[in-house]
């Protein structure tokens, strides 16, 4: 316990050690204020992305430099600002303080907590990460070679996602886009609890969403014990466009911080359509020339520079990875609109969710024909490749034949059997929300359908039968997970065992 | 106001005809920029709280002449600074005031 005297002595020492210094400032004055955007005269030394300080302590970020004035977005309440107010440069480029203490927290893009759990504790490992950063170059990267399990059968088997990949989730409103992303986060938390597993940190960036939706997401993540490995960065629809514009970059900074420490990170941008809207609003208020759909000319670069930061670092750089799952909302299933085509071309594949499938009860409503993973195949484990190799083809054949069968024409036995097999495949790939399936179960379930063991089972009974069969295999085969994850995959010996178990089980039942 | 406008129009047309006569009309933008930059105020404002001696004033002028290249100094009293000075030239400010230093201590 310090006595009063020691406290005074400490203060005196502190004051004696202080040096009165000269502070240099580059100053300007507000010309116009509107919709969170200010035009400032002066500030001849302002830098792009620099933080500027207004008279009332509010800060802003320089976003436009021109000969006559400087454009800035206000990172706070702009209602107190008025024409003629003094503005000072700070010499600091906008950055956010990344920290392990942010795990489990809900913060805004400036890392200010929104969850009512107090301040984010400081620690020695904290680091200021610049919001705008050039993506790692070729030398620093390695190719995607490790799978990131989403726990969703349709995705892990046919559209696999690898660590460091950018996989777009695209679809109309209310087709389950966010659900796919949330399920993936929940699955990471589930896998993190396994022994020997390399932890995956999840970051969920909510852009322009309703606050009620964020509350639901937090509740669901808490319910499934996933919040402790997750950070939620949110700029709601009621927040300024400046914060909505910054949110994905701020989230990406956090991801990079963990990635540089050798961690595997999953980041969800929900959604980039609203991000593009926010940027369009900023650009129009700044009077930048508008192009197609009134978006500015650099709308492609807005998303490409963000998504290019997702990568898998080489072992020399720590081997960390940043996997990005951007979400895009389409209007009336138009994936050839401006922003969707931009993001499709930037990412390494897309998961297309179709409303028709959704309303038919096929959930997740993944359209296999339009969905693709360009690099994930390299990251898929051998056992999954072995069982899922034919899956896409079988489903494509089913879709074609079932469309033909609608005309009521007679079909040959082979076609009929393909349709029956397809029905069972689709039934097996259906999955309720918030119930990720482990890899071993996925492989066994798909194997049992593709090998025809469910051909004699009623379609509606297929899911229950396969789950029971998985339990049988798990009790009869020791170290099932190790076998399936081995480089050999499903070898002859294991397949014989599996066939034996399947024949015994499906004959009996 | 109208008289001012018509004067300005006459001067502008004279400049244009001069440049035309010299065959250098393409320099018009550069000339306009030069005119604007020359017209900008080049006054250095020095704000102080406690009266400055002539010696102190001379010292300030010699120091800030090197930084601003301007010899047009204007000394203005501002008691809110408590002590020290603030020097302003165009959009540049050097803050050596006690007020600013105390604010920094409060922030610590």
Stretch A146-169: mean pLDDT, rounded?
Answer: 95
**Are A43 and B93 within 8 A, CB to CB?**
no
Q: Closest chain B residue to A87 measured between Cα atoms?
A: B91
Whether B54 and B93 map to the same domain: the answer is yes
Q: Is A382 a residue whose pLDDT tops 70?
A: yes
Strand partners, A349: A373
Whether B48 and B96 map to the same domain: the answer is yes
Question: Nearest-CA distance from B69 to chain A in Å?
Answer: 17
In this complex, the residue of B91, B98, B101 whose CB is nearest that of residue A26 is B91
Is any Cβ of chain A less than 8 angstroms from the Cβ of B93? yes
Measure the CA angle with vertex A363, ends A362 and A368; round to 5°: 75
Whether B56 and B93 map to the same domain: the answer is yes
Q: Which of A1-5, A116-120, A457-461, B20-24 has the lowest mean pLDDT?
A: A1-5
pLDDT band at A251 (very low <50, low <70, confident <90, very high): very high
**Are A25 and B101 within 8 A, CB to CB?**
no
Predicted local distance difference test score (pLDDT) of residue B32 = 86
Whether B100 and B78 map to the same domain: the answer is yes
Residues of A in CB contact (< 8 Å) with B are 15, 18, 20-28, 42-45, 88
Query: CATH number of the domain at A27-93, out of 2.40.30.20, 3.40.50.970, 3.30.230.10, 2.60.40.290?
Result: 2.40.30.20
**Are B101 and A21 within 8 A, CB to CB?**
yes
* Mean pLDDT (chain A, rounded): 92
Q: What residues contact A112, with CB distance under 8 A and at least 6 apart?
A: none
Total domains in the fold of chain B: 2
Marked catalytic residue, from A25, A97, A288, A374: A374
pLDDT band at A2 (very low <50, low <70, confident <90, very high): low
Query: CATH number of the domain at A97-380, out of 3.30.930.10, 3.50.50.60, 3.65.10.10, 3.40.50.300?
Result: 3.40.50.300
Predicted local distance difference test score (pLDDT) of residue A4 = 80
Of A139, A137, A157, the closest CA to residue A147 belongs to: A157
Whether B93 and B58 map to the same domain: the answer is yes
pLDDT band at B108 (very low <50, low <70, confident <90, very high): low
When comparing pLDDT for A7 and A69, which is higher? A69
- Bridging pattern class, strands A23-34 and A50-54: unpaired
**Phi, psi for residue A174 in degrees, rounded to 5:** 55, 45
* pLDDT tens digit sequence for A21-63: 788 889 999 999 988 899 999 899 999 999 999 988 899 999 9
Q: Which residues of B touch A50 (CB under 8 A)?
A: none
**Are B91 and A18 within 8 A, CB to CB?**
no
Stretch B16-40: mean pLDDT, rounded?
Answer: 85
Stretch A490-506: mean pLDDT, rounded?
Answer: 91
Q: Report d(CA B74, CA B72) in Å as an integer.
A: 7
Predicted local distance difference test score (pLDDT) of residue A53 = 94
- Domain with B86, as residue range(s), is 44-107
pLDDT band at B40 (very low <50, low <70, confident <90, very high): low
Q: Which residues of A touch B89 (CB under 8 A)?
A: none
Whether B35 and B57 map to the same domain: the answer is no
Q: State yes or no: is A68 an active-site residue.
A: no
Whether B97 and B75 map to the same domain: the answer is yes
In this complex, the residue of A23, A43, A45 whose CB is nearest that of residue B100 is A23
Predicted local distance difference test score (pLDDT) of residue A248 = 97
- Token code pair at residue A98: 């990344």
**Are B94 and A24 within 8 A, CB to CB?**
yes
Q: Closest chain B residue to A86 measured between Cα atoms?
A: B91
Predicted local distance difference test score (pLDDT) of residue A408 = 67
Stretch A325-354: mean pLDDT, rounded?
Answer: 96
A271 upstream amide cis, omega within 30 of 0: yes
**Are A24 and B93 within 8 A, CB to CB?**
yes
Identify the CATH class of A385-508: mainly alpha
* A492-508 vs A462-476: helix crossing angle, rounded to 10: 130
pLDDT above 70 as % of chain A? 99
Centre a 10 Å sphere on the Cβ of residue A191 and count the other Cβ atoms it contains.
Answer: 18
**pTM for the full model?**
0.87
Residue ranges of the domains in chain A?
27-93, 97-380, 385-508
Stretch A183-206: mean pLDDT, rounded?
Answer: 93
pLDDT band at A377 (very low <50, low <70, confident <90, very high): confident
């Amino acid at each position: 316990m310090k006595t009063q005297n020691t406290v005074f002595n400490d203060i005196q020492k502190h004051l004696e050690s202080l040096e009165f210094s000269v502070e240099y400032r580059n100053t300007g004055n507000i010309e116009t204020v509107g919709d969170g955007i200010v035009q400032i005269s002066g500030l001849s030394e302002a830098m792009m992305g620099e933080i500027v300080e207004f008279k009332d302590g509010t800060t802003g970020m320089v976003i436009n430099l021109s000969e006559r004035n400087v454009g800035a977005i206000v990172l706070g309440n702009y209602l107190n600002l008025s024409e003629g107010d003094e503005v000072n440069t700070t010499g600091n480029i906008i950055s956010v303080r990344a920290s392990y203490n942010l795990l489990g927290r809900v913060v805004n893009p400036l890392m200010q907590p929104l969850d009512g759990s107090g301040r984010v504790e400081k620690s020695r490992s904290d680091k200021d990460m610049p919001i705008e950063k050039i993506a790692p170059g070729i030398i620093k990267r390695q190719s995607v070679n490790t799978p990131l399990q989403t726990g969703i059968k349709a995705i892990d088997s046919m559209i696999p996602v690898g660590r460091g990949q950018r996989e777009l989730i695209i679809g109309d409103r209310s087709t389950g886009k966010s659900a796919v992303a949330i399920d993936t986060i929940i699955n990471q938390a589930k896998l993190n609890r396994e022994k020997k597993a390399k932890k995956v940190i999840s970051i969920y960036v909510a852009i322009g969403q309703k606050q009620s939706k964020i509350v639901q997401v937090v509740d669901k993540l808490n319910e499934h014990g996933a919040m402790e490995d997750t950070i939620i960065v949110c700029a709601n629809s009621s927040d300024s466009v400046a914060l909505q514009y910054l949110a994905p970059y701020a989230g990406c900074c956090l991801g990079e911080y963990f990635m540089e420490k050798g961690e595997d990170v999953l980041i969800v941008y929900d959604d980039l359509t609203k991000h593009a809207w926010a940027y369009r609003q900023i650009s129009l208020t700044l009077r930048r020339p508008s192009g197609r759909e009134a978006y500015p000319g650099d709308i492609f670069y807005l998303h490409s520079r963000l998504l290019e930061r997702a990568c898998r670092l080489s072992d020399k750089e720590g081997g960390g990875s940043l996997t990005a799952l951007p979400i895009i909302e389409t209007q009336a299933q138009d994936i050839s609109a401006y922003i969707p085509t931009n993001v499709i071309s930037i990412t390494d594949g897309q998961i297309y969710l179709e409303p028709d499938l959704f309303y038919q009860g096929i959930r997740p409503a993944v359209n296999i024909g339009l969905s693709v993973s360009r690099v994930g195949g390299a990251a898929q484990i051998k056992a999954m490749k072995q069982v899922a190799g034919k899956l896409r083809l079988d489903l494509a054949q089913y879709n074609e034949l079932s469309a033909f069968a609608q005309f009521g024409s007679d079909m040959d036995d082979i076609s009929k059997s393909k349709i029956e097999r397809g029905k069972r495949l689709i039934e097996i790939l259906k999955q309720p929300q918030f119930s990720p399936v482990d890899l071993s179960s996925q492989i066994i379930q798909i194997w049992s359908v593709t090998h025809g063991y469910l051909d004699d089972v009623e379609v509606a009974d297929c899911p229950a039968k396969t789950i029971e069969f998985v339990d049988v295999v798990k009790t009869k085969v020791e170290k099932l997970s190790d076998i399936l994850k081995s480089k050999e995959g499903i070898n002859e010996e294991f397949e014989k065992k599996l066939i034996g178990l399947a024949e015994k089980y499906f004959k009996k039942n | 106001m109208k008289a001012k406008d018509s004067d300005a129009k006459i001067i502008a047309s004279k400049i244009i005809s001069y440049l035309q006569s010299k065959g250098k009309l393409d320099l018009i933008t550069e000339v306009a920029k030069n005119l604007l930059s020359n017209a900008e105020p080049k006054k250095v404002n020095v704000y102080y709280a406690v009266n400055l001696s002539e010696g102190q004033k001379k010292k300030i002028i010699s120091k800030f002449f090197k930084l601003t290249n301007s010899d047009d100094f204007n000394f203005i009293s501002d008691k809110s600074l408590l002590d020290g000075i603030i020097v302003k030239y165009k959009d540049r400010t050097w803050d050596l005031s006690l007020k600013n230093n105390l604010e920094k201590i409060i922030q610590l």
